[in-house]
Structure 1
Amino acid sequence: MSINSDLNPWHKRQATLLYHFTSNEYLQGLLRRIDRLIAMANGFLDERTPFDSLGLAVGNWQQLDTAAHFSTHAFPALIEFREGVVEAIALRASEVYRTAGENQCGRMLEEYGHHMTWATPDQESAFKEEAAAVFSYAGLISSITDRLGGLDDFWFWIVWTEGLVDAHRIPRFRVRKDIVAFSDQPPPRTGVYVPKEGPYGALQFAWTGGRGELIGASSLNEFGRSVVQRIGRAGLWGDSAGLYEILDRNRGMTPYDWSYITADKAHIANSFVASECFEDRPSEWYFVEMIEGEFEEIDGTYAGTSSVDLRPQRVPAGKAVPTSGWWYTPAQGARRYFKEGEVFPEIVGSDWGSTFWLWAADQAAPRIG
């Protein structure tokens, strides 16, 4: 991978999402949305507070049903949310990134604002809808900066398909192999990093201002690689029929057995398959530089128009098995199942000469009977 080497199609989209949601512009956008939510709440409180006395007197209201109660106990959570975002904006100058604080605000509003008897049904619906939209917007910042676990390819696919960025025109990037970072260590530069370990390791955002270390790279495990070999890169994660078939063939691989996921629920099979597809491992990382002012027109799908083929090439006898699965050799004819790390045997006396093992196109286990 050279300094100016390219990213694969889905890594380009991951880099686009990471730089977009960690940008100062996006954080400023959150502040504007919080201000609109606060203004909405203020307007409703000003309008409805005069009805508190009437509600207490003839409407069988409790104190928690009043606008005054909401103003005293729930509204301050919005102010604290805003103050936290203002502080987060200031910290960016010191290369410090942190979560947006939407979870704390949401819990406070749920605890003290659940009873909105004081508001009209339309006001309550409008406020809750606006609050949910603000929290969802903020949650994309927090998902990247919380450092509780690496984001995997499935998360990036979900976010990409929500259409939150221009899916056809993205920034141009270059991979800087001369800027190297390591898991569990502070990065040399704030920004996006791609793991050295392979094409399916998800990108991460890291920062230099403290607690911004790269964590383990989330990549496909053995089962995840078998999923790609079965349905192809383009099938991740939108091939509902193909992913349901894989789920159906692998029932029992988890304690929960997926027994309640039936054919009529095939559209949600991807999340259950994805829950078994990834593992985190320490990695070496390269910096992904966004080239200022340069863009490229792309295929709007997540996988792009090209892919990395994970199917192993033919492997000579005596070498280790690179991937668990079904393999065959012209020297023998029948397929055999090998586990990763086993050694391919030599077929002695074959008219084919040296033995080479090839990946079987059909990875389904042969049926008995």
Structure 2
Amino acid sequence: MQSAPFELSQSQKIQVTLLYLYASFDYLKELRLKLQGLMVAVDPTLDLSKMQRRNSLITASQRGAREMSENWRNDACSILMHFERSVEGQMTERASDSFSITIANECERSLREISLAWMTPDEQDNFDNQFQAISWHARQLDDTVSQHQRAGRWDDFSLMLAASECKHDIDRADSLRLRPDILGVSGTTPARTGVYLPLDDPYGTPQFCWTGNPQGVLLDCNTFNELGLEALASIGRDDLWINKSRMLEFARRHANDPRLTQDPFFDDSISDEDLAPSLVARNAFTNRSCRWMYVEQIHGALKN
């Protein structure tokens, strides 16, 4: 095999590892388990509501049948079961190397229309927390395989945020190897299913693509624009996005820069170190067509 033109940086290893994680069959299977866990957890709450005759209290207060537990049992349970069946269908499609986004957004919109008034405040909080965890899990998968935009959904900033939630998975991930013999170009279907890195842009965000039907083509590359490159040079790779005080300092140095001042949340963010990283990130990227190189995951070989 020919030698690769560059070595994987630590940040590239982390980003590639995350995309392989989110596109994995185990990750999809975990989504189904989370959905099943939520449905199982709601059953005792429904039973308790019936035993305590909460529906009669709702009727007495004239709030209407839409706020009763039976309405939730009939409608919301059907929505969650539809979500679960959809995930099971996606699991079946993986056998033919086919990937697609989940129906998590559709499910969440539908559930918002169904009242939780029959639950106690604590029960509502527990349900909301569990479903938000499911939504976050599904969103990582969706952002990895979505083909509904010109460039990939992920960028350097969003993958940094994701990495902070997946440190354990990153630490025990398989080793990676660049494959300069397997190349691709934006707008075409790759030769192999997997993660691809920009060949001619060291700061470009990797993409996961696939060969099944429908195909997952290589989209344009998300990469730093001039402001992003300035932030990288000023703050450094290790501190970029993570060091809030340095990010705030950088933003303040550009307090009169129209690249930041035109941001709709500029006034709220320019003096807040928690918001400064996202202020810069929202204005730090561009996208372009490029050449791509396949990054192979070597199963069973732990990374350094």
- Give TM-score scaled by structure 1 length: 0.75
- State the shift of 1:53 in Å: 4.9
Work out the CA distance in 2 between the residues paired with 1:207 and 1:167.
Answer: 22
From the superposition, tell whether residues 250 and 4 of structure 1 become closer, same or farther in structure 2 (CA, over 3 Å).
closer
Q: Which residue pairs with 2:126 in the alignment?
A: 126
What amino acid maps onto 1:140 in structure 2? Q
Q: Is the 8 A contact 1:186 1:207 kept in 2?
A: yes
From the superposition, tell whether residues 5 and 172 of structure 1 become closer, same or farther in structure 2 (CA, over 3 Å).
farther
SS at match of 1:205: strand
Please say if 1:208 is aligned against 2:195. no
- State the shift of 1:43 in Å: 2.6
From the superposition, tell whether residues 5 and 292 of structure 1 become closer, same or farther in structure 2 (CA, over 3 Å).
farther
Gaps of 5+ in 2: none
Work out the CA distance in 2 between the residues paired with 1:211 and 1:250.
Answer: 42
Q: Which residue pairs with 1:244 in the alignment?
A: 248
Please say if 1:224 is aligned against 2:228. yes
Q: Is the 8 A contact 1:3 1:174 kept in 2?
A: no
Please say if 1:15 is aligned against 2:19. no
Work out the CA distance in 2 between the residues paired with 1:126 and 1:215.
Answer: 39
More helix by share: 2
From the superposition, tell whether residues 293 and 53 of structure 1 become closer, same or farther in structure 2 (CA, over 3 Å).
closer
Gaps of 5+ in 1: 298-369
- State the shift of 1:57 in Å: 4.3
Q: Which residue pairs with 1:170 in the alignment?
A: 173
Q: Which residue pairs with 2:39 in the alignment?
A: 38
Which structure ranks higher in relative contact order (CA pairs < 8 Å, sequence separation ≥ 6)?
Answer: 2
CA distances 1:219-255 after superposition (whole Å, capped 9, x unpaired)? 1112211111111111211122222122122233242
Please say if 1:185 is aligned against 2:211. no
Q: Is the 8 A contact 2:55 2:69 kept in 1?
A: no
- State the shift of 1:59 in Å: 3.3
- State the shift of 1:32 in Å: 0.9
- State the shift of 1:138 in Å: 1.4
Work out the CA distance in 2 between the residues paired with 1:159 and 1:267.
Answer: 16
Work out the CA distance in 1 between the residues paired with 2:291 and 2:270.
Answer: 41
Please say if 1:261 is aligned against 2:269. yes
- State the shift of 1:74 in Å: 2.0
CA distances 1:52-87 after superposition (whole Å, capped 9, x unpaired)? 552254233311110111122222110110011000
- State the shift of 1:176 in Å: 0.5
- State the shift of 1:205 in Å: 0.2
Work out the CA distance in 2 between the residues paired with 1:287 and 1:226.
Answer: 28
- State the shift of 1:164 in Å: 4.8
Q: Which residue pairs with 1:159 in the alignment?
A: 162
Please say if 1:59 is aligned against 2:53. no
From the superposition, tell whether residues 53 and 250 of structure 1 become closer, same or farther in structure 2 (CA, over 3 Å).
closer
Report % sequence identity. 29
Q: Is the 8 A contact 1:6 1:173 kept in 2?
A: no
Work out the CA distance in 1 between the residues paired with 2:291 and 2:25.
Answer: 27
Q: Which residue pairs with 1:144 in the alignment?
A: 144
Correspondent of 1:271 among 278, 281, 284: 278
Please say if 1:2 is aligned against 2:14. no
What amino acid maps onto 2:143 in structure 1? S
Misfit runs of 4+, over 4 Å: none
SS at match of 1:34: helix
Q: Is the 8 A contact 1:200 1:219 kept in 2?
A: yes
CA RMSD of aligned residues (A): 1.9
The alignment of Structure 1 onto Structure 2 pairs a total of residues equal to: 294
From the superposition, tell whether residues 179 and 57 of structure 1 become closer, same or farther in structure 2 (CA, over 3 Å).
closer
Q: Is the 8 A contact 1:49 1:66 kept in 2?
A: no
Q: Is the 8 A contact 2:197 2:293 kept in 1?
A: yes
- State the shift of 1:49 in Å: 3.6
What amino acid maps onto 2:132 in structure 1? A
Please say if 1:194 is aligned against 2:197. yes
Q: Is the 8 A contact 2:192 2:211 kept in 1?
A: yes
Q: Is the 8 A contact 1:55 1:61 kept in 2?
A: no
- State the shift of 1:2 in Å: 2.1
Please say if 1:24 is aligned against 2:25. yes
- Give TM-score scaled by structure 2 length: 0.90
From the superposition, tell whether residues 71 and 274 of structure 1 become closer, same or farther in structure 2 (CA, over 3 Å).
same
Work out the CA distance in 1 between the residues paired with 2:77 and 2:92.
Answer: 24
